[in-house]
């Protein structure tokens, strides 16, 4: 009898240890493994009033926030290094928590310990079954950045026009293109294209690498598509340099191409 109990206990212990190990491996950022149980406690302290008890973005404060809090149940995230439509990497979620999302209600949670932030990632992933069913594909490898130059910025300005970025962001990058007023996000909330000239930091990081990544992966859940199939890396860098020049004021909006005259309507 004692042997049976011992065997059963050992099996249970083995199962417990195995499953704990599996959970710990599910979320990993660097050398830190995520603990979803602890992440839940943190979520209830810091996140629940915006993102809601079920992670669906319907917390008590949600009605008053613009843009709306992320709906984790959809597993659709703006700031990713993975291709459009793919799940984000753990590091993508960790970076978003650490950095915050500028010009939104989401602050930087860098004052939390790194372990706490990884635990939050682990818990956030429990809201969508996609994280159990799918694996994120490999993240984008960002090639070395060529030096910024007036020529690079000029090429980027041309791409800004030819790729129709201006339709949403406006000819001068002020976020007032002809499509701007009709844009909605994936939950049908109105959404405003980014005004590059406002000086506001970009939502997913403001380095040139961040802009390059956003161009190549798109911002899922928003009308901003991925240009991975349409732009060569060197073109994406040119465009990134131009956007950064708009942001920093190196290119004055007046120097940017003027708004095109509306086409004459067909008779």
Partner 1 sequence: MRIAVVKRAGTQLLLGAALMMAVRPAYAIPAFARKYGLPCSACHEAWPMLNNFGQTFKDNGYQLGNDRDAPIYQQPAYWPIMFRVSPTWHRESNDRVAVDKVPGNASSGLVESTVTASGFDVGGIDIVTAGTLSKNISFFVQPFIANSGAGLVQAWVRLDNVFKSRWLNFKMGKFELDEPISQERTLTLSNTGGIYYNYFFTPPGDNNFFTGIGNLQLGAEVSGHSDNDYTRYSAAVVSSNNGATGLQASQSYNLYTNFNQAFEVSGLGLQRIGVYSYVGQSPTFYQTNRGNPIHGTGMGDRGFYRVGAYGQWYLGKFDFETFYEHGHDNVFLGNAVPANQPSKLPPGAVGPSWNGGFVEAHYDYNPRLILIGKYELVQMSQQANPGIRANAGNLDTWTVGYRWYPIMNPRAGLAWVQEYSRIVNAGPPTLSGKDDIHNSYLMGFDFDF
Q: Which residue from 6, 10, 53, 108 is in contact with partner 1, where contact means CB under 8 A?
A: 108
Among the candidate windows 44-52, 124-132, 154-162, 241-249, which touches partner 1 by CB under 8 A? 44-52
107 touches partner 1 by CB under 8 A: yes
Integer angstrom CA distances of residue 235 from 173, 208, 240: 18, 13, 8
Interface residue with partner 1, options 28, 84, 115, 145 (CB under 8 A): 115
Provide the 3-class DSSP secondary structure of residue 32: strand
Which residue from 119, 75, 81, 104 is spatially nearest to 216, judged by alpha carbons? 81
Q: How far apart are CA 259 and CA 166, in angstroms?
A: 9
Cα separation of 130 and 86, whole Å? 10
The answer to whether residue 49 forms part of the interface with partner 1 (CB under 8 A) is yes
Q: What minimum distance in Å lies between the beta carbon of 214 and partner 1? A: 17
Per CB under 8 A, does 201 bind partner 1? yes
Kindly tell me which residue out of 84, 102, 228, 250 binds partner 1, with binding defined by CB under 8 A: 102
Kind plus residue range of the DSSP H or E element containing 116: helix 114-124
Residue 239 makes contact with partner 1 by CB under 8 A: no
Determine, following the binding rule CB under 8 A, whether residue 200 of this chain makes contact with partner 1: yes
Q: Is 65 among the residues that bind partner 1 (CB under 8 A)?
A: yes
Stretch that binds partner 1, among 38-46, 78-86, 163-171, 243-251 (CB under 8 A): 38-46
C-alpha–C-alpha distance, residues 197 and 110, integer Å: 27
Helix (H, G, I), strand (E, B) or coil at 98: helix
Count of residues of this chain found to bind partner 1 when the rule CB under 8 A is applied: 31
Give dist(CA 19, CA 34) in Å, integer: 13
Our finding on whether 162 is near partner 1 (CB under 8 A) is no
Contact flag: residue 40 with partner 1 (CB under 8 A): no
CA pair distance 118, 32, nearest whole angstrom: 7
Binding site for partner 1 (CB under 8 A): 41, 44-46, 48-50, 60-62, 64-65, 100-116, 200-201
């Amino acid at each position: 009898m004692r042997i049976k109990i011992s065997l059963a206990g050992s099996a249970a212990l083995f199962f417990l240890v195995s499953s704990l190990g599996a959970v710990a491996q599910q979320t990993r950022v660097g050398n830190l493994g995520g603990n979803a149980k602890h992440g839940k406690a943190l979520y209830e302290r810091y996140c629940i009033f915006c993102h809601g008890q079920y992670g669906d973005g319907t917390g008590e404060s949600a009605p008053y926030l613009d843009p709306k809090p992320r709906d984790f149940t959809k597993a659709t995230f703006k700031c990713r290094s993975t291709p459009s439509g793919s799940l984000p990497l753990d590091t993508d979620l960790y970076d978003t928590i650490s950095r915050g999302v500028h010009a939104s209600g989401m602050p930087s949670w860098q004052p939390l310990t790194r372990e706490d932030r990884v635990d939050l990632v682990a818990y956030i992933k429990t809201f969508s079954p996609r994280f159990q069913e799918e694996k994120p594909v490999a993240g984008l490898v960002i090639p070395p950045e060529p030096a910024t130059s007036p020529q690079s910025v000029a090429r980027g300005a041309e791409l800004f026009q030819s790729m129709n970025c201006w339709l949403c962001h406006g000819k001068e990058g002020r976020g007032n293109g002809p499509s701007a007023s009709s844009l909605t996000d994936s939950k049908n909330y109105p959404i405003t294209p980014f005004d590059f000239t406002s000086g506001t930091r970009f939502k997913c990081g403001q380095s040139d690498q961040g802009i390059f990544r956003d161009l190549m992966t798109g911002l899922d859940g928003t009308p901003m598509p991925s240009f991975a199939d349409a732009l060569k890396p060197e073109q994406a860098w040119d465009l990134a340099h131009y956007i950064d020049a708009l942001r920093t004021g190196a290119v004055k909006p007046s120097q940017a191409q003027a708004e095109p005259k509306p086409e004459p309507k067909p008779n």
